[in-house]
Chain A
Amino acid sequence: MNIIFFFFQILFVLLFSPLCIGVIRKVNALMQSRKGASIFQPYRNLKKLFHKDEIISEDASWIFRIAPYVVSASTLVIATSVPIAFAPAFAPAGDILVTIYLVAMGTFFLALAAMDTGSAFGGTGSSREMTLAALAEGGLLFTMLVPAVIVGSTNIGMIASRIGTLSIFQYAPLLMAFVGFFLVLLSENARYPFDNPATHLELTMVHEAMILEYSGKRLALLEWAAANKLFIFLILAANLFFPSTISGAVFGITLIVSGLLTLFKSLILAGVIALIESSIPKLRYFRLPDLLFTSFVLGVISLIISIAM
């Protein structure tokens, strides 16, 4: 019974994650007074990529060939457990730390695959990505710990279902933690000011540099996995920090309504990301650790405040 539920969660995330990317690109285009591609363009891109042949470098080993599957699988496992419409009592990746480390697993294999090609771009991209990922861990853990401590559980589903029942004073540290989490979201998903997802300059790439060597179906898997990761982080941001709309029932129309509300909240946050992308420049690489440290400090302060309350 639970498996069917997890399967639907996976389908939800898979189906709507390219939509988030499409919305971000559309809002970016509108901010540039252009019309831009339609919000369903990423779906067409993925379809086209699945129909293309692949070229794999001679220097690459089985790590390069298996990495897209591992990265996609890690996003799918997390997708079974994010609180979209209903929080089951037990989910495979239901704990905060499991989520963080499954994301780390995906990053690990992607970085290895980028190094596997032996090109300078992949190696540099790997190095930059691992530096940012290492420094973002503290912020990610602490900002996700704040709602856990307030609610009294590190189980994601339980946090999502109980976060709506807080008093107004408990929201102040939660808001600070949200800002910190949002910074880490931007870092982990290679958005401004950490990375420019549309750049052609390899020396400034972080995430894109790692997928320069991929083509065909593996590229499609990686692009989809990146979209999944963004959507998952958006759902977590929407449902862990704001009064969530998780329904209590397993069946029924409330489930569909909750799911759509979560989607709506995520799309609004995606629009906010696009607004930020259109407003600020990408920061120089050695200024990024300052931002990540800021998110860490915000997490620590809000944690101390929420404990003190």
Chain B
Amino acid sequence: MIATYLKILRTPKTVISTQFLSCQKDIVRIGLQIEGKVKKLFCGALAIREVDTGSSNAEEQELSALSNSYYDIERFGISFVASPRHADMLFVTGPVSRNMADALRKTYNATPNPKIVVAVGDTAFDGGIFKGSYAVYDGVDKIIPVHFYIPGDPPSPSRILCSLLEILEMCDGIRT
């Protein structure tokens, strides 16, 4: 036990600081306009709920990498929560298979206002590699209104993180 503690103390910090993240400003705002004051609310504390609507799980792997000690999303006040009732933002991945359409709608309805919907990955934007299949609706915006989209198949954790920071900065900018 003591050896573990000493090892923890001796391990150098590996958290990637924000200026070293290669930030590409690839955000596409789809759908509704959000009132300025709504975005203000999320400064400092953002609760995210992941919804997987039939994706290849690649996006989920990248999303779970956000909580490790390299990217450490928690330091920005962002956390992943267990229930859409607790969430401010929905990360939707996957092209929305027919089986998950109802579940996605219920999740959206279960999230209290004000909320932001972010489609993560190319499949969530327009179906991606599954585009045109009979088993999917091509893209999340066919089922629920989407506010932002993070491109990539899958987007790397640094791109997700940068995009999130851009979203939060947008709310910062409007406040100042």
Which residues in B have their C-beta under 8 angstroms from that of A279? 1, 4-5
Number of interface residues of B (CB under 8 A): 34
Check: A212 CB closer than 8 A to any chain B CB. yes
Using an 8 Å CB-CB cutoff, how does the interface string of A158-190 with B read, 1 for contact, 0 for none? 000000000000000000000000000000000
CB atoms of B88 and A52 under 8 A apart: yes
Partner of A55, one of B11, B68, B88, B112: B112
Check: A54 CB closer than 8 A to any chain B CB. yes
Check: B137 CB closer than 8 A to any chain A CB. no
| Chain B, residue nearest A54 (CB) | B112
Which residues in B have their C-beta under 8 angstroms from that of A214? 85-86
B residues 45-104 touching A (CB-CB < 8 Å): 45, 47, 68-69, 72, 74-77, 79-83, 85-86, 88
Known: A48-B44, A53-B112. A219 touches B85 (CB 8 A): yes
Using an 8 Å CB-CB cutoff, how does the interface string of A31-57 with B read, 1 for contact, 0 for none? 111111110010011011001111100
Check: B133 CB closer than 8 A to any chain A CB. no
Which residues in B have their C-beta under 8 angstroms from that of A208? 82
Which residues in B have their C-beta under 8 angstroms from that of A243? none
Known: A53-B114, A216-B112, A279-B1. A41 touches B83 (CB 8 A): no
User: Complex Cα distance A32/B68, Å?
Assistant: 9
Known: A29-B74, A33-B8, A215-B112. A52 touches B41 (CB 8 A): yes
User: Complex Cα distance A48/B116, Å?
Assistant: 14
Check: B129 CB closer than 8 A to any chain A CB. no
What's the nearest-Cβ distance from chain A to residue B16, in Å?
10
Check: B14 CB closer than 8 A to any chain A CB. yes
Number of interface residues of A (CB under 8 A): 32
User: Complex Cα distance A31/B47, Å?
Assistant: 23
B residues 19-49 touching A (CB-CB < 8 Å): 41-42, 44-45, 47
Partner of B77, one of A37, A53, A216, A219: A37
Using an 8 Å CB-CB cutoff, how does the interface string of A10-37 with B read, 1 for contact, 0 for none? 0000000000000001000101111111
Check: A287 CB closer than 8 A to any chain B CB. no
CB atoms of B45 and A45 under 8 A apart: yes
Check: A200 CB closer than 8 A to any chain B CB. yes
CB atoms of B85 and A55 under 8 A apart: yes
Residue with the highest number of chain A CB atoms closer than 10 Å, among B72, B77, B86, B109? B86
Counting from the closest, the 8 A-B pairs by CB-CB distance are: A44-B44, A215-B85, A44-B45, A48-B45, A200-B82, A212-B83, A53-B113, A34-B72
12 A-B pairs within 8 Å (CB atoms) are namely A33-B69, A34-B15, A34-B74, A34-B75, A47-B45, A48-B42, A48-B47, A52-B88, A53-B114, A54-B112, A212-B85, A213-B83
